[in-house]
Amino acid sequence: MENHDSGSRAAAAGRAKKRFSWWKLLVGFLLVVLALALAAAGIFYSLYQKGRGQLLEAEAPVEVTAPSLEDVQVVVEDQGQRVHYNGKEYVLNENVTSVLLIGTDRSDISEEAEVVGTGGQADALYLATIDVKTGRVKVLGISRDSMVDVDLYDSEGTYVGKSNIQVCLSYAYGDGRETSCENTVRAVSRLLYGIPINSYAAIDLEALPVLNDAVGGVEVEVLDRYVSEVFGMGEIGAMVTLDGKMARQYVQARNLDSSYSTLDSNNGRMARQRYFMVAFAKKVLEETKDDITLPLKLFNTVSDYMVTNLNASRISYLSSLVTKVGFGEDNMLTIPGEVVKGENGYAQYIVDEKALYEIVLDTFYQEAE
């Protein structure tokens, strides 16, 4: 009996020891996870603060101009730092930073173009603006066919002058990488009356399927007959979850086929691009609530398909701001204008200068106190 009691006590002690060992392992594991989480949060916070400082670094003084309008007087002072318009006075908002998003029509952006003019075109142009003080986000859609003065370079890269042509061609006059982005930034800045653009990110076609699939597919609405019939995405008005291949078709394709083609075909494509961007952003922001490092992960995932002067610090700060304020259709704007046929037969987008300037004032300026 005594031996039996001793055996029972020994067995119970063994079970307690095992439970204690497993408990210690569990606690140890949780402590390690907590330490890693705190380290990650610390790194993210460090990147956040650094990114904020970089985005708010003082830019070299630039001369911001204004359009000449018939029905309202515009007076510009201090190189555009101060503006009098329609009875109100505005000052340039130093808290607004901007990122020009460039979707190129080439699939080898990692390779430098050997000859100027062969680096592709800017098929999609969107200027994202963020007020780092209020968190207000706006994304301005810019038609690739918008007419603007573009810097021209010969085949050896020597500057030869300017020409009033479609803004999408600005990307071609460069190396297909950094100099193409810089030339496009200059052209878009001119279109916006000299407003400085802080950052850029050019993404080639191959990145779209990668980004789409990285978030498990993006649900969009079938908006036009072209993607409905040519790519079989369903009836107009139907909701469809895109796979990688479909995402590229939805965002890139436009109706150049003779049975679908119209002069303003790019406007229909831009409508799809806007829908995709909003749906993608909402999904990323929702998932970022559970994983604050997701934007950085996506940034790293597509780094081989992208040319940008953004870095981890800036991405961390910008994603944190957007996560707080959210993003939706109300954040999207499009430059008003009219599509006409040029002498060469190609579409030209003539912007409504008054409407555009009021967008510029609302986005980059604030009323003087």
The per-residue pLDDT for range 310-343, each reduced to its tens digit, is: 887 777 777 777 777 778 888 999 999 999 999 8
Tokens found for residue 346: 């190609």
Residues 116 and 2 in one domain: no
Give the least confident one: 64-78, 226-240, 275-289, 319-333. Answer: 319-333
Q: Are residues 7 and 44 in the same domain?
A: yes
Residue 167 inside a domain? The answer is yes
Using alpha carbons only, give the angle 32, 34, 38 rounded to the nearest 5 degrees: 120
For residue 227, the SS3 value is: helix
pLDDT tens for 105-161 read 876 776 777 667 667 899 999 999 988 888 888 999 999 999 999 999 988 888 999
Domain span including residue 31: 1-55
State the Cα–Cα distance between residues 77 and 92, nearest whole angstrom. Answer: 11
Residues 199 and 336 in one domain: yes
How confident is residue 226, by pLDDT bands cut at 50, 70 and 90? confident
What is the secondary structure of 253-300 as a DSSP string?
A: ----STTT--TTHHHHHHHHHHHHHHHHHHHHHHHHTT-TTHHHHHHH
Average pLDDT score over residue span 304-313: 86
Asked if the structure places residue 90 within a domain, the reply is yes
- Tell me if 361 is assigned to some domain: yes
Query: Ranked by mean pLDDT, which of 2-6, 41-45, 61-65, 333-337 comes out on top?
Result: 333-337
The answer on pLDDT for 60 being more than 60 is no
Residues 15 and 159 in one domain: no
* Residue 250 located in a structural domain: no
DSSP string over 27-40 = HHHHHHHHHHHHHH
**Angstrom distances, CA of residue 341 to CA of 103, 145, 338:** 24, 11, 10
Q: What angle do CA 288, 289, 292 make, to 5 degrees?
A: 50
Reported pTM: 0.82
Q: How far is residue 164's CA from residue 162's CA, in Å, rounded to a whole number?
A: 7
Q: What is the mean pLDDT of residues 352-368?
A: 96
For residues 335 and 352, give the distance between their C-alpha atoms in angstroms, rounded to a whole number.
Answer: 8
160 and 182 part of one domain: yes
Residue 70 has pLDDT above 70, yes or no: yes
Within a domain: 364: yes
CA dihedral 344, 250, 351, 134 (to 10 degrees): -150
Q: Are residues 70 and 1 in the same domain?
A: no
- Two structure tokens written together for 38: 């705190």
- 89 and 35, same structural domain? no
Q: Are residues 80 and 199 in the same domain?
A: yes
> Based on the domain organization, do 161 and 107 belong to the same domain?
yes
- Residue 50 sits in the same domain as residue 72: no
The answer to whether position 50 is within a domain reads yes
3-state helix, strand, coil in the chain (%, to 5): 45, 25, 35
The residue among 42 and 354 whose pLDDT is bigger is 354
Please report the pLDDT score of residue 34 as a whole number.
Answer: 46
Under 8 Å between Cβ of 327 and 137: yes
Do 185 and 102 sit in the same domain of this protein? yes
Tell whether 304 is covered by a domain: no
- CA angle 64/69/75 to nearest 5° reads 45
Distance CA(14)–CA(87), nearest Å, equals 86
CA-based nearest residue to 188, from 142, 243, 128: 142
pLDDT single digits (tens) 258-296 = 555 577 888 889 999 999 999 999 999 888 888 888 888
In a domain, 311, yes or no: no
CATH of the domain at 197: 3.30.420.590
Query: Above 70 in pLDDT, residue 248?
Result: yes
Verify that 18 and 127 share a domain, yes or no: no
What total number of domains does the chain contain?
Answer: 2
